[in-house]
Amino acid sequence: MSKITVHNWKQTDIEGSAFELIPPVYHVTYWEVPKWWYKGDRTVYTSCARVDLNEQTSIYIDGTTPLMEITLDYDGDKLRSPNWRDIRRVLICAKDDIAAINQGVSDAYADIEFFKDYYITRVNNYALEVIDPLINVLKPTFYSELPIAVGSSSPFDTGTWNGGVEPITYEWRYKAQNYKSDEWFSVGDWKTQPNEAIQETISLPEDSDAWYIHIESRAVDAEGTIVYNNSALRRAIPRVKKEPGSSIKYSAFNTYEEGSELVFDTATFYGGVPPVEYRHRIQQRNTPDDNWTTGKNTQYDNTVQTARHTITFSAGAQVRIQCQAVDSSQGELQGAWQPGEVKEIIPAATQPLEIAPNGGANWLGGNVYEVGQTVYGKTAAFTGGIEPITYRWRVQTRATPQDSWNNATWTNVTNGKIDVVYVIQDVGQLRIQSQAKENNPPNSVTDSFTGAQTVSS
């Protein structure tokens, strides 16, 4: 099958009905032909063209624009054209009948039947023997459909072409499209290749941010015709990086106080050779000159999640949250860090150390206050204060109301209404002292006492 390209045909002004023959100009890959008159209402069609198929037969094409460009495939049976919508009519006739047909005195022509995107001839004709135009044949093909990771290489077979006017140059390079970009850009210089499918290799540099790639190849013939021949798209994997526009966001309700929770939304990442591990942690340091603590990692699934860590350093220290994505590529640990804003830890806002409402120390009902009897009570519950705080209780006794209290040994407890059990030893008076004591300045102490009970023998 030959390809016949018809374009830029000459025009002439014709007066009257006489047919003026303008000989076609022959080129290596196409004919340049004039306008013509044809049978019918003798209208001049300025976009008509004549193509000689052989020494005896010509094709006449009636188009719709004066200078359209038509590419035809003709195999003796079918006449194909990618822009067939621009063609009104195609006739086949003997070359010697051209004048009579155009003057309307001969019917020695055949219409070519129109069918979908090609014309079917009603007569046998022969394809014009011209040099085949330059076309691509085999596309460049990767050996694997798996994504190609940055820092690695991938083999492929180069593409092939047919036709064209020698000498012809064949060459390739690759194009890339970065993550979340619509633009393609060429990478590197053109590399020469033969016109055959040979193995070549593509390598992605370490700084590549390509998300998709494809092989771009071309052939350029002696007439300057350029025909591109590109491979299918291939996924590329860049090093793991922070998602554009993503960041760690702290909650507006954070106080950044000692002992408080630091609530935040995680950052997200892209890239990295699967499997990729995503994790976050809290980091603290006493001064800006100190190194950050490592912190305990908590894994998450690379979506924006609300998480929390507890501040453990004292006021005046610094704290931040850090998110990380880590993959194992080419045998090396590859990671991307996303630190959050550094915050100053402030003293915890505390209330005075006080006895909780209805939380004072008390005796339980049913006690018998006699020597040898076991009696029961409850310690006090406290609120406020600056940690650490010691909570404790003891029993106090005295012989008469006029005497000073004698103190038993302290027993440490947790904060709250804790059970007290005591076996009475002597007659006199008895009570429980429950106490909360701050261990650091200002070392506040708050006491709660039960009522004094009189003990008989």
- Which pLDDT does position 3 carry in this prediction? 41
Residue 36 included in any domain: yes
Whichever domain contains 305, its CATH number is 2.60.40
Residues 359 and 340 in one domain: no
Nearest to 97 by CA among 39, 46, 44: 39
- Which pLDDT does position 89 carry in this prediction? 61
* Of 340 and 74, the one with more pLDDT: 340
| CA pair distance 403, 452, nearest whole angstrom | 13
- Which pLDDT does position 16 carry in this prediction? 41
Mean pLDDT of 174-190: 95
Q: Which of 344, 375, 390 is the last residue of a domain?
A: 344
> Residue 316 is part of which domain span?
247-344
* Of 421 and 45, the one with more pLDDT: 421
* Of 44 and 445, the one with more pLDDT: 445
Q: Given pLDDT bands bounded at 50, 70 and 90, which one contains residue 18? A: very low
- Which pLDDT does position 284 carry in this prediction? 96
For residue 290, pLDDT over 50 is answered with yes
Total domains, the chain: 4
Are 281 and 294 in contact by the 8 Å Cβ rule? The answer is yes
User: What is the dihedral sign for C-alpha 408, 410, 416, 421?
Assistant: negative
Residue 129 included in any domain: no
Mean pLDDT of 18-47: 38
Residues 108 and 6 in one domain: yes
Q: Which of 183-187, 233-237, 314-318, 333-337 has the lowest mean pLDDT?
A: 333-337
Residue 175 included in any domain: yes
- Which pLDDT does position 20 carry in this prediction? 41
Q: Given pLDDT bands bounded at 50, 70 and 90, which one contains residue 33? A: very low
pLDDT digits (tens, 9 = 90+) for 105-126: 777 776 665 443 433 332 233 2
Of the ranges 260-269, 380-389, 442-451, the best mean pLDDT one: 260-269
pLDDT digits (tens, 9 = 90+) for 379-402: 999 998 888 899 999 999 999 999
Residues 15 and 113 in one domain: yes
**Alpha-carbon 261 to chain mean position:** 31
Q: What percent of the chain has pLDDT over 90?
A: 56
| CA pair distance 136, 376, nearest whole angstrom | 100
Tell me how many degrees the CA angle 162-118-115 measures, rounded to the nearest 5: 160
- Which pLDDT does position 109 carry in this prediction? 72
Q: Which of 344, 374, 400 is the last residue of a domain?
A: 344
- Which pLDDT does position 303 carry in this prediction? 94
pLDDT digits (tens, 9 = 90+) for 321-353: 999 999 876 545 556 778 899 999 888 777 888
- Counting Cα atoms < 13 Å in the Cβ hemisphere of 284 gives 20
Q: Given pLDDT bands bounded at 50, 70 and 90, which one contains residue 222? A: confident
Residues 24 and 101 in one domain: yes
* Of 385 and 185, the one with more pLDDT: 185
Q: Which of 344, 376, 393 is the last residue of a domain?
A: 344
- Which pLDDT does position 113 carry in this prediction? 53
Residue 269 included in any domain: yes
Residue 432 included in any domain: yes
| CA pair distance 348, 6, nearest whole angstrom | 87
Residue 75 included in any domain: yes
Q: What percent of the chain has pLDDT over 70?
A: 72
Residues 379 and 423 in one domain: yes
- Which pLDDT does position 75 carry in this prediction? 54
- Which pLDDT does position 39 carry in this prediction? 28
- Which pLDDT does position 441 carry in this prediction? 80
For residue 264, pLDDT over 70 is answered with yes
Residue 293 included in any domain: yes
Please state, as a whole number, how many other Cβ atoms lie within 10 Å of the Cβ of residue 289.
6
- Which pLDDT does position 457 carry in this prediction? 85
Residues 309 and 414 in one domain: no
Residues 383 and 282 in one domain: no
Tell whether pTM > 0.75. Answer: no
Q: Given pLDDT bands bounded at 50, 70 and 90, which one contains residue 65? A: very low
For residue 196, pLDDT over 90 is answered with yes
Mean pLDDT of the chain: 79
